[in-house]
């Protein structure tokens, strides 16, 4: 007797989307400049809001004397801090180039500043993923 589960037909898999140029360019540009991945896909308001939100968080973090992490192979929290900061893309590169965010954390608000910059980077990772989903047609 045949197993009834084997008789069920599997639903046809969705056809694979060919990788378009936009699906590569939008995340890359979005990482470099927060919100730009949306703007080049004509999502002007979303891109602008992402730019202002992520940019303001990062700049406020710097102004609060937050610490910026560099590439390191030491403490796990330092490595995670670096990964978070790296998400800010161009802002992170500029900050490193200008040697900002290198002071010692002397008060509680400065520690908040450090977290602001890490979260700005992590939020930009989410924005980059969103730009990619728009580029491949998974989201409008």
112 binds another protein (CB under 8 A): yes
The set of residues, in sequence order, having a beta carbon less than 8 Å from that of 46 and lying 6+ positions away, is 35, 38
- Residue 116 binds another protein (CB under 8 A): yes
Q: Candidates 2-10, 23-31, 76-84, 125-133 — which segment interacts with another protein by CB under 8 A?
A: 125-133
Q: Which is nearer to another protein, 10 or 39 (by Cβ)?
A: 39
Give me the helix-helix angle, 76-86 and 108-135, nearest 10°: 50
For another protein, the binding residue among 53, 78, 83, 96 (CB under 8 A) is 53
What are the C-alpha distances in Å from 114 to residues 27, 44, 68, 74, 94?
A: 25, 29, 7, 18, 16
Decide whether 86 or 134 has the Cβ nearer to another protein: 134
Residue 59, classed as helix, strand or coil, is helix
Binding-site ranges for another protein (CB under 8 A): 46, 49-50, 53-54, 56-57, 60, 63-65, 108-109, 112, 116, 119, 123, 126-127, 129-130, 139-140
């Amino acid at each position: 007797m045949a197993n009834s589960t084997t008789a069920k037909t599997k639903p046809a898999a969705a056809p694979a989307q060919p990788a378009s140029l936009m699906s590569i360019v939008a995340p890359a540009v979005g990482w470099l400049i927060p919100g730009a991945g949306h703007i080049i896909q004509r999502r002007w308001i979303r891109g602008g809001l992402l730019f202002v939100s992520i940019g303001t968080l990062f700049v406020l973090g710097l102004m609060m004397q937050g610490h910026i992490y560099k590439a390191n192979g030491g403490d796990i929290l330092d490595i995670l801090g670096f990964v978070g900061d790296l998400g800010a893309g161009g802002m992170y590169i500029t900050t490193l180039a200008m040697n900002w965010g290198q002071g010692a954390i002397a008060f509680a608000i400065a520690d908040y500043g450090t977290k602001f910059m890490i979260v700005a980077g992590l939020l930009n990772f989410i924005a980059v993923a969103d730009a990619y989903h728009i580029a491949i047609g998974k989201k409008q």
